[in-house]
Amino acid sequence: MKRFVLAGLFASAMAVPAFADYTIIAPANPGGGWDQTARTMQTVMQEDGISGSVQVQNVPGAGGTIGLAQFASQNKGNADALIVGGYVMVGAILTNNSPVSLADVTPIARLTGEYEAIVVPAASEIQDMQGLVAALKENPGAVSWAGGSAGGTDHIAVGMIAKAAGVDPTTINYIAYSGGGEALAAILGNQVTAGVSSLGEFQPQIEAGTLRLLAVSSPERLEGVDAPTLKEAGLDIDLQNWRMVAAGPDLSDEQKAKIQADIETMVKSENWQKQLADKGWMDTYLSGAEFDAQLAEDTAATEAILKEIGLVK
Amino acid sequence: MGAFDFLLQGLATASEPMMLLYALIGVTLGTAVGVLPGIGPALTVALLLPVTYRLDPAGSLIMFAGIYYGGMYGGSTTSILLNTPGESASIITALEGNKMARKGRGGPALATAAIGSFVAGLIATLMLAFLAPWIVKVALVFGPREYFALMVLAFVTVSAAFGDSALRGLTSLFIGLALACIGIDQLSGQARLAFGVPELLDGIEVTTMAVAMFAVGEVLYVAGKSGQEDDKVEAVKGSVWMNRQDWARSWKPWLRGTAIGFPIGAMPAGGAEIGTFLSYATEKKLSKHPEEFGEGAIEGVAGPEAANNASAAGTLVPLLTLGLPTTATAAIMLAGFQQFGLQPGPLLFATNPTLVWGLIASLLIANAMLLVLNLPLIGLWVKLLTIPRPWLYAGILLFATLGTIGANPSTFELGMLLAFGVVGYVMRLYGYPIAPLVVGLILGPMAEQQLRRALSISQGDWFTLVQSPVAAVLLLIALLALVVPLIMRARGKGQVLSQLAADED
């Protein structure tokens, strides 16, 4: 019985968070990229004394739009609440017709990012990106692509590749999996022609020689990665799956400046850099007006490509 | 050094007194949080992972293993005693386990779950240690069409296994399948049957549904019957320990559950639930006491609990050898590994043997610790049932609500919990089995996605479904399981069938 009481205390502690300097909403289930980003922020901010106590709360669902909607309505003018989000959210807001968008919160900074990798199984006849594009041009339906959820970064990447190659994006045969991991199994099992996901998901397999890396979606070649960029392969694509942090709507300039300063201290800390290195995340920190401009540009480009794939009417 | 030396070295490290203390803390914390309905191992591990950051790698790993197994086990305790499954893999445990608990046999039910979990965990962890690289090769053969065939097999065996009336079982299953259509369609990204409600975009949460159907429905049913004569809950009848007959009826289901659970857990899209369903169906088919199923058959607890734990170890096969997290819990474990700069993948066993074998040794120790901690506590746990019924059921309702809110703080989720609780009550009232509904909700989306993926890859050619030998064999077994009983019944040979079932052992 004693442990039941203890268990009850645990539940009430989770249901009613105690006083915290910052509460970070991870709009996804535990374990995913956003959850890990939020929990890493929690660790660094607490250990480096940026914030005395940080709570992480998971509000999963619908590409982060449920968490975003809840966050925007509950935290007007609240400078203590943060939400983690990312590029996938931009697409999800569009495909789900979400009533709340990133314009309804205060974007603070882009934190990390990962580039997309295009791979084929080691046993595949396709040797390079040109070969894959040729197969795609010959018969778009015969090239099956495995990647993450529909309308996510991986799907958008395939749409962009088709468009850049002059193939109608609505004809692509994209097989959506619930995540990079499940897609990876399909690629390794030779179930599909090619795979698209963030480079980190494929890296161990590429090193072990079970997958062949055809191209990466970065603007320039990546250090230590033996593959051309999509641009080199003649496809004008620069795509990054980034993660960001935002604060509540209607903040005063002082409030916003304080959060920006806290986040900057965190990003510049040795602890944060070490965590990024451990997790294989790239530091793509961008804040202020530059980030706002980048966000607007990404949103417009995403909307255009989702319309062309036919996911957004 | 060979694999065996590494394992022995890991075991030696893991059995130092400090390490045992860490294991004990991990197991206790894991169990304590895991018993909350609606809070499965994934959330338990996520909540408690930061606790392990402060320790050195060895201590951290062992506490982590303790939390993992503790969280898995905690779910079955509430399933059995309170009919509130903490996660989808212990739904089946609630079916027979709770019936046993109400007949005063909660002790043996908890004991067979604990010992079955231990046996399965032990065998499966050893299989993980020595067979992982080979198993993963076999698992990769499973593509969309093979998975679809496996789901079809699960549907057929499961709908036949639950309840007395096939029609009622199928009705319940199809309600579940219909509810499973709600939410964003994974392959096209379009919302179905969500009616503009954002909370419905991700579909209906399985644990919310399970807790609503089993716990809330039950509470309403009991409240609705008050004043009338009702079946008494006897806290303890006979010994709280397993008797000779319990052992005799448990050990084969443990082994069969392990044999079913481990390979399915090792498949990249297998998960823990299918193993428990198939194990339950198998035990019902092979049991010498099929009439006890639905009334508290110990085989129905022993088999699925073993399958559940075996598949938990099976999940580690793709995680360690391919870096594939196939469940939410595995994804969090991946995050746990990364704090040591450990990148699971094909090279892991070669580049980082000490940590990998340390983890495997930790799992073995945590597994044993769990047994040591829980067996003596069974007597205490079953006393829960001696609480006066109004208090007990009010408590169940409280914990069901807290668990749901804790996992997902949303008023809509709470509303769904209560609404489906009423559905569960009505179904109970009219004698419809609950489990097929939950099974339909879990397996429906998987079957649909795999079918559509298979057809998408083959560009619409339906023959692809039978062109792979594995898929063809699985579908054939499913067809036989469906047709043979019908023909036999039609020829008036129903008795032959039950005779056959009794003969097999």
Q: What is the 3-state secondary structure (H, E, C) of A223-267?
A: CCCCCCECCCCCCCCCCEEEEEEEECCCCCHHHHHHHHHHHHHHH
Alpha carbons B43 and A230: distance in angstroms, whole number: 39
Contacts (Cβ under 8 Å, ≥6 apart) of A270:
none
Q: What part of B 139-178 touches A (C-beta under 8 Å)?
A: 139-144
**Residue A155, C-beta contacts closer than 8 angstroms, at least 6 positions apart:** A91, A147, A148, A149, A174, A176, A309, A311, B189
Residues 300-319 of B with CB under 8 A from A: 318
Buried b / exposed e along B370-406 (16+ C-beta atoms within 10 A): bbebbeeebeebbebbeeeeeebbebbbebbbbbbbb
Q: Does B394 touch chain A (CB under 8 A)?
A: no
Contacts of B457 in chain A (CB under 8 A): 144, 173, 175, 191-192
Contact: A205, B346; criterion CB under 8 Å: yes
What are the chain B neighbours of A1 within 8 Å (beta carbons)? 380, 383-384
How many folded domains does chain A comprise?
Answer: 2
CB pairs under 8 A between A and B: 186
Helix (H) or strand (E) holding A196: strand A194-198
Please check whether residues A36 and A47 belong to one and the same domain. yes
Assess if residue A231 is contained within a domain: no
Pairing status of strand A106-121 against strand A211-216: antiparallel
Q: pTM to 2 decimals?
A: 0.77
Eight-class DSSP state of B385? G
A222 found inside a domain: no
Closest-CA distance of chain B to residue A147, Å: 11
Do residue A89 and residue A135 come from a single domain?
no
Classify B287 as helix, strand or coil. Answer: coil
Q: Considering only CB atoms, which chain B residues are within 8 Å of A14?
A: 47, 406
Whether residue B346 lies within 8 A of chain A, CB to CB, comes out as yes
Selecting from B42, B339, B410 the residue whose C-beta is nearest the C-beta of A278 gives: B339
Q: Which of A10, A155, A192 sits opposite B33 (nearest CB)?
A: A10
Which tens digits make up the pLDDT trace of A97-115?
A: 777 788 888 888 888 888 9
Partners of residue B345 in chain A, C-beta under 8 Å: 203-205, 207-208
Phi then psi for residue B240, to 5 deg, are: -80, -10
Min CA distance, A59 vs chain B (Å)?
Answer: 6
B414 at interface of A, judged by CB pairs closer than 8 A: no
**CA dist., res. A286 & res. A275, Å (int):** 18
Domain holding A39, by residue range, is: 2-113+242-308
In chain A, DSSP finds a helix count (H) and a strand count (E) of 11, 10
Find which of A191, A205, A313 to mutate to test the B interface (most B CBs within 10 Å of its CB): A191
Min Cα–Cα distance to chain A from B295, Å: 27
Q: Which residues 266-285 of chain A have a CB within 8 Å of chain B?
A: 278-280
The answer to whether residue A70 neighbours chain B at the CB level (below 8 Å) is: yes
Kindly state whether residues A90 and A133 are assigned to the same domain.
no
Query: CB distance A95–B189 less than 8 Å?
Result: yes
Contact B346 A176 (CB under 8 A): no
**How far B306 CA lies from chain A's nearest CA (Å)?**
25
Regarding whether A109 and A130 lie in a shared domain, the answer is no
Subunit contact B186:A176, Cβ cutoff 8 A: yes
Residues 6+ positions from A305 with CB-CB distance below 8 Å: A156, A159, A160, A163, A169
Q: How far apart are CA A217 and CA A15, in angstroms?
A: 41
User: By the CB < 8 Å criterion, does B53 face chain A?
Assistant: yes
* A109 and A119 part of one domain: no
Tell me, what's the pLDDT at B326?
Answer: 66
| Interchain contact, B324 vs A186, CB within 8 Å | no
Beta-sheet strands, E only, within B183-285: 183-184, 191-192
Residue A47 in any domain: the answer is: yes
**CB contact B453 to A (< 8 Å):** yes
Choose the final residue of a domain: A174, A200, A216: A216
Q: CA of B431 to nearest chain A CA: how many angstroms apart? A: 32
Which band of pLDDT confidence, cut at 50, 70 and 90, is reported for residue A31?
low
CB of A210 within 8 Å of a chain B CB? The answer is yes
Distance from CA of A254 to the nearest CA of B (A): 30
CB of A12 less than 8 A from some CB of B: yes
Question: By the 8 A CB rule, do A82 and A22 touch?
Answer: yes
pLDDT tens by residue, A237-288: 888 888 888 888 888 888 888 888 888 888 888 888 888 887 778 888 888 8
> A60 in contact with B at a CB cutoff of 8 Å?
yes
Predicted local distance difference test score (pLDDT) of residue A13 = 42
- Across the interface, whether the CB atoms of A184 and B322 are under 8 A apart is answered yes
Alpha carbon distance A265, A254 (integer Å): 16
Is the Cβ pair B410, A70 closer than 8 Å?
Answer: yes
The answer as to whether A237 is a domain residue is: no
Q: Of A118-132, A144-158, B97-111, which one has max mean pLDDT?
A: A118-132
Please report the pLDDT score of residue A3 as a whole number: 43
Is the pLDDT confidence value at A15 over 60? no
Is A228 within a domain? no
Closest-CA residue in chain B for A309? B188
- Asked if the C-beta of B202 comes within 8 angstroms of chain A's C-beta atoms, the answer is yes
Say if residue B170 is exposed, middle or buried (CB neighbours under 10 Å; 0-12, 13-18, 19+): middle
User: Are A6 and A108 members of one domain?
Assistant: yes
B189, B198, B268 ranked by CB distance to A151: nearest: B189
Q: Would you tell me which residues 255-274 of chain B have a C-beta closer than 8 angstroms to some C-beta of chain A?
A: 268-269
For residues A107 and A161, state if they share a domain: no
Report the C-alpha gap between B424 and A220 in whole angstroms. Answer: 58
Instruction: Tell the burial category of B37 from Cβ atoms under 10 Å away from its Cβ (0-12, 13-18, 19+).
Output: buried
Output the domain CATH number for residue A199.
3.40.190.10
B461 contact A CB<8A = no
CATH code for position A287:
3.40.190.150
Q: Show the low-confidence residues of chain B (pLDDT under 70).
A: 1-3, 36-44, 46-54, 86-87, 133, 160-164, 226-240, 268-271, 323-328, 331, 335, 338-351, 407, 485, 488-489, 492-505
Instruction: Evaluate whether ipTM surpasses 0.85.
Output: no
Q: How far is B274 from chain A (nearest CA, A)?
A: 17
Cβ density class A136-168: b for 16+ within 10 Å, e for less: beeebeebbbbbbbbbbbbbbbbbbbbbbbebe
Residue A47 forms contact with B (CB below 8 Å): no
Residue A274 and residue A193 share a domain: no
**Banded model confidence at residue A133, pLDDT cuts 50, 70, 90:** very high
Structure tokens at A142: 């015969």
Q: Are A183 and A275 part of one and the same domain?
A: no
Q: Does any CB of chain B come closer than 8 Å to the CB of residue A155?
A: yes
Q: Tell me, yes or no, if A4 comes closer than 8 A to chain B by beta carbon.
A: yes
Which of chain B's residues have a Cβ under 8 Å away from the Cβ of A35?
46
pLDDT band at A14 (very low <50, low <70, confident <90, very high): very low
Judge whether A85 lies within some domain.
Answer: yes
Measure the CA angle with vertex B470, ends B466 and B471; round to 5°: 40
**Residue B258 near residue B119, CB atoms below 8 Å:** yes
Residue A209 sits in the same domain as residue A182:
yes
| A223 domain-assigned | no
Which among A30, A96, A150 has the least Cβ separation from residue B332?
A30
Provide the H-helix boundaries in A61-169: 65-74, 87-95, 129-138, 153-164
Answer yes or no: do A139 and A76 share one domain: no
DSSP for B322-338 reads H----SHHHHHHHHHHH
So what's the pLDDT on residue A120? 95
User: Residue B386: closest CA among chain A residues belongs to which residue?
Assistant: A1
Distance, C-alpha B355 to centroid of its chain: 28
Whether residue A205 and residue B345 make contact (CB cut-off 8 A), yes or no, is yes
Taking the Cβ of residue A173 and every Cβ of chain B, the question of whether any pair is shorter than 8 Å is answered with yes
Name which of A42, A96, A145, A202 to mutate to probe chain B: the one with the most chain B Cβ atoms within 10 A of its Cβ.
Answer: A96
Do A83 and A35 fall into the same domain?
yes
